[in-house]
């Protein structure tokens, strides 16, 4: 089955700096890669996702890049703010219908933004 | 829309007890999943369903049962609770034509 590796497990940055979290996946058939943010005691919430037909997607201060050849994808957060502090999870799936919709998650990155 | 709801929010069980975690969604989503979240382990898939009457095992199914008699509900049953099942449990749902999964608020379970 799919295996998703996520690095680093913890990341501490100063407010205003950029943060980058990287993930690799093993199944070349995976084609959907979401990123979730989870604040302490809350549910995971989707912040951005990318499908394998594009290489990069941006939403304000957040961007995701995908390298299908190398089977890795990354989350980039620019101009970090204290409210960005949370655990971030990457995930992968084959995306389409039936049992292919299942997500495999990385183990998470605890991002701390210091004021 | 209430989205995905889960009950209870918290539960303490003794080893060997049984219980059912409830999950419901009002978005008419075909796909529903149960995950457990343990420190440093991410979210691991327990069981999933692609429609009423259809369920299958995920990555960590042992000790759990599910059924899906309606589109809306997807309960998770612990038959004989063990301390290793102490975890936070999340239910999620997704429509068949979209990609985003929506998570419920979670149930924090402690087995003593």
pLDDT digits (tens, 9 = 90+) for A39-50: 999 999 999 999
* Mean pLDDT, residues A8-20: 98
Angle at B106 between CA B103 and CA B110, to 5 degrees: 155
- Interface probe, candidates A21, A35, A37, A102, chain B, greatest B C-beta count within 10 A: A102
- Spatial separation of the C-alpha atoms in residues A2 and A61, rounded to whole Å: 29
Of the candidates B43, B99, B106, the beta carbon closest to that of A105 is on B43
Per-residue tokens: A9: 């497990």
Inter-chain CB proximity A6 and B42 less than 8 Å: yes
Average pLDDT, chain B: 95
- Spatial separation of the C-alpha atoms in residues A13 and A90, rounded to whole Å: 19
The better pLDDT of the pair B41, A50 is held by A50
The pair phi, psi for residue B109, each rounded to 5°, is -110, 130
pLDDT in tens, B50-102: 999 999 999 999 999 999 999 999 999 999 999 999 999 999 999 888 888 99
- Spatial separation of the C-alpha atoms in residues B108 and B86, rounded to whole Å: 8
| 8 A C-beta contact, residue A85 and residue A114 | no
- Residue that has been written with the tokens 């429509």 in this structure: B95
* Mean pLDDT, residues A56-80: 96
Q: How many CB pairs under 8 A join A and B?
A: 55
Inter-chain CB proximity A101 and B94 less than 8 Å: yes
pLDDT of residue B66: 97
Helix, strand or coil for residue A100? Answer: helix
Which of B40-69 are b and which e, b meaning 16 or more Cβ less than 10 Å from the residue's Cβ?
A: eebbbbbbbbbebeebeebbbbeebebbbe
- B30 has a pLDDT exceeding 90: yes
* Residue A89 touches chain B, beta carbons under 8 Å: yes
- Spatial separation of the C-alpha atoms in residues A73 and B40, rounded to whole Å: 20
Of the candidates A1, A6, A43, the beta carbon closest to that of B104 is on A43
HEC states along chain B? CCCEEEECCEEEECCCCCEEEEEEECCCCCEEEEEEEECCCEEEEEEEEEECCEEEECCCCCCEEECCCCCCECCEEECCCCHHHCEEEEEEEECCCCCCCEECCCEEEEEC
pLDDT of residue B41: 85
Tell me the pairing of strands B10-13 and A109-114.
unpaired
* Residue A31 touches chain B, beta carbons under 8 Å: no
- B1 has a pLDDT exceeding 90: no
Query: Which among B16, B21, B12 is positioned nearest to B82, based on CA atoms?
Result: B16
Longest dimension (CA), chain B: 42
Query: Which among A79, A77, A93 is positioned nearest to A1, based on CA atoms?
Result: A93
pLDDT of residue A95: 72
């Amino acid at each position: 089955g799919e295996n998703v590796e996520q690095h680093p497990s913890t990341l501490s940055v100063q407010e205003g700096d950029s943060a980058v979290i990287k993930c690799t996946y093993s199944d070349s058939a995976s084609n959907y890669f979401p990123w979730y943010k989870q604040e302490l005691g809350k549910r995971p919430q989707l912040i951005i996702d990318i499908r394998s037909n594009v290489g990069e997607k941006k939403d304000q201060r957040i961007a995701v890049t995908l390298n299908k050849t190398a089977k890795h994808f990354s989350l980039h957060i620019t101009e970090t703010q204290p409210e960005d502090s949370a655990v971030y999870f990457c995930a992968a799936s084959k995306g389409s219908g039936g049992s292919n919709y299942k997500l495999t998650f990385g183990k998470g990155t605890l991002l701390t933004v210091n004021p | 829309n209430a989205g995905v709801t889960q009950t209870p929010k918290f539960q303490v069980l003794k080893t060997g007890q049984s219980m059912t975690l409830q999950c419901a969604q009002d978005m008419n989503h075909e796909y529903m999943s149960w995950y457990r979240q343990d420190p440093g382990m991410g979210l691991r898939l327990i069981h999933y369903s692609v429609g009423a009457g259809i369920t299958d095992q995920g990555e960590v199914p042992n000790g759990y049962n599910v059924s899906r008699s309606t589109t809306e509900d997807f309960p998770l049953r612990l038959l004989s609770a063990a301390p290793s099942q102490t975890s936070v449990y999340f239910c999620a749902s997704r429509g068949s034509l979209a990609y985003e999964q929506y998570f419920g608020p979670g149930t924090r379970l402690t087995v003593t």
